[in-house]
Amino acid sequence: MRFVLLHYHILKNAGSTIEEILHRNFREKLCRFDTPDRDGELKNAELIAYLEANPGITAFSSHQIYYPVPQAPGFLFFDLCFLRDPLDRIRSVYDYFRQKPSDGDPMSDLANQRALGEFTRYLIENWPWTVNDVQVNLFANGMVNDQPRAEDFERAIERMLEVCFLGVVDRFDESLVAGQYGLRTVFPGLICAHPAVNISGEGTLDERIAKFREACEPAVFAELLRLNAMDFALLDRARSEVRRRFEMAPNLRESPATHVSAGPRLLAKLRGRIGIDPPPNPIFDAEFYLAHNPDVRDSGMNPLLHYELHGAAEGRKPHPLFEPGYYLAQCPDAQAAGMNPLEHFIKSDAKVCKNPHFLFNCAAFSNANPGGGNPLVRYLQPEPK
């Protein structure tokens, strides 16, 4: 039996970040497939024929594969799909084409010729299928078409609940944790930690929607809300489902003090993996990390969990005396392997330990303070009382 992960890449639904995660995990076993025609479709029979002709492919990502998930002898498919607030998605599509124009693409041309409010009005009046419960239609009917009916909505809900790796853009971290845990049996090496890429728009979801509302005439915005009533309902159900799956992961529990926090057992694993003692940490400075990363502070995520899942890959500093770029410049092998620099540093032998910061000399400290162990950790340890 051949296991294949299928990424149903809905435009501007965090797909670029997901593709980067898949590439990091599967490398040459990942196929990114799209025809030059943005409205093209790769039918299930064609997809299976392609996979049969390319037996090395384990993950497949495309804007042009559509539900239902294919079934074929010898294959077992696992689908991955992210949903997004429908208004934020429209706004993101507009910003994307403004940033990266695609000559000859009608949507791109329209975005670059009109302001956001005028762009939205034109879509409603001339291409309503592009802003009318798009995600419900993609789940229920496989393609975007006219106004979906009640039975389409019910079918979309059923298929959404069956998605193997379900994600919601505004629940991104929870989605990655739940998805990785859910696929652990068939893809045990799957690691979903990765910084977001190809991002358009700033601020919180509420702030972006408020700006979108200001850009539109009241009647246009009201019509947009009406046209996406089913998408909003689908999104609410998806958020609940992601939360349910997230809470199934045995090492993750929500804490009243942190909205998306790591439970004690997961934090113990992380500390064991990167050699960090329980708080107060000698080398991972949670207060410093939160003070210099207000997005992490505002999200409520445990800072150590964020660093392990995202911060290390994004080059964020875990401590005032640990400069990731400076350290990795001395460790090209670790840099080429994409290793967590803090983990690599802590696990390095004291005799060959590289300096974590231009202000801290590991060799000099070790010579002046013999006794073994990581020099910076020993330096930061509080004096015994």
- Paired strand residues for 236: none
Mean confidence (pLDDT) of the chain: 84
Q: Which residues fall within 8 angstroms of residue 71, CB to CB, at 6 or more apart? A: 77
Highest mean pLDDT among 62-71, 273-282, 290-299: 62-71
Question: Alpha-carbon dihedral of residues 194, 310, 186, 3, nearest 10 degrees?
Answer: -10
Question: Is residue 202 domain-shared with residue 344, that is, in the same domain?
Answer: no
* pLDDT tens track for 45-99: 999 999 999 999 999 999 999 999 999 999 999 999 999 999 999 999 999 999 9
SS3 at position 167: strand
* pLDDT tens track for 212-256: 999 999 999 999 999 999 999 999 999 999 999 998 876 543 332
* Amino acid of residue 317: K
Q: Which of 208, 223, 248 is the last residue of a domain?
A: 248
Question: Is residue 49 domain-shared with residue 161, that is, in the same domain?
Answer: yes
Please give the Cα distance from 155 to 136 (Å, whole number). 9
Classify residue 153: in a domain, yes or no: yes
Question: Is residue 232 domain-shared with residue 304, that is, in the same domain?
Answer: no
Question: Is residue 232 domain-shared with residue 301, that is, in the same domain?
Answer: no
Question: Is residue 231 domain-shared with residue 336, that is, in the same domain?
Answer: no
Classify residue 338: in a domain, yes or no: yes
How confident is the model at residue 249, as a pLDDT?
76
CA-CA distances (angstroms) from residue 198 to 145, 176, 203, 210, 211?
A: 27, 17, 15, 22, 20
Question: Is residue 238 domain-shared with residue 284, that is, in the same domain?
Answer: no
Task: Look at the block and give the residue holding tokens 């509080």.
Answer: 382
Residue 250 has, within 13 A of its CA and on its CB side, a CA count of: 3
Please give the Cα distance from 364 to 43 (Å, whole number). 64
Classify residue 63: in a domain, yes or no: yes
Task: Check: CB of residue 69 under 8 Å from CB of residue 94.
Answer: no
Total domains in the chain come to: 2
Task: Check: CB of residue 42 under 8 Å from CB of residue 35.
Answer: yes
Task: Tell whether the model's pLDDT for residue 110 goes beyond 70.
Answer: yes
Q: Which of 248, 276, 295 is the last residue of a domain?
A: 248
How confident is the model at residue 260, as a pLDDT?
36
Classify residue 32: in a domain, yes or no: yes
Highest mean pLDDT among 160-169, 180-189, 253-262: 160-169
Question: Is residue 230 domain-shared with residue 334, that is, in the same domain?
Answer: no
How confident is the model at residue 247, as a pLDDT?
86
Question: Is residue 306 domain-shared with residue 335, that is, in the same domain?
Answer: yes
279 Ramachandran zone, left/alpha/beta (phi>0; psi -120 to 50): beta
Question: Is residue 242 domain-shared with residue 272, that is, in the same domain?
Answer: no
Task: Tell whether the model's pLDDT for residue 42 goes beyond 70.
Answer: yes
Any idea which of 15-19, 262-266, 272-276 has the lowest mean pLDDT? 262-266
Task: Look at the block and give the residue holding tokens 């593709």.
Answer: 19
Classify residue 257: in a domain, yes or no: no
> Across residues 135-152, what is the average pLDDT?
85
* pLDDT tens track for 334-375: 877 778 888 888 877 656 678 888 777 777 777 777 766 677
186 alpha-carbon distance from chain centroid: 20
Classify residue 256: in a domain, yes or no: no
Classify residue 21: in a domain, yes or no: yes
Assign residue 73 the CATH number of its domain: 3.40.50.300
Structural domain of 181: 2-248
Question: Is residue 279 domain-shared with residue 205, that is, in the same domain?
Answer: no
Which tokens go with 252?
């993750």
Question: Is residue 180 domain-shared with residue 297, that is, in the same domain?
Answer: no
Classify residue 254: in a domain, yes or no: no
> Across residues 142-156, what is the average pLDDT?
84
How confident is the model at residue 48, as a pLDDT?
97
Look up the pTM and report it. 0.66
Question: Is residue 216 domain-shared with residue 269, that is, in the same domain?
Answer: no
How confident is the model at residue 138, as a pLDDT?
93
Q: Which of 192, 223, 248 is the last residue of a domain?
A: 248
Task: Tell whether the model's pLDDT for residue 112 goes beyond 70.
Answer: yes
> Band of the pLDDT at 206, cuts 50, 70, 90?
very high
73 or 198, higher pLDDT: 73
Per-residue b/e over 174-196, b at no fewer than 16 CB within 10 Å?
bbbbbbbbbbeeebeebebbbee
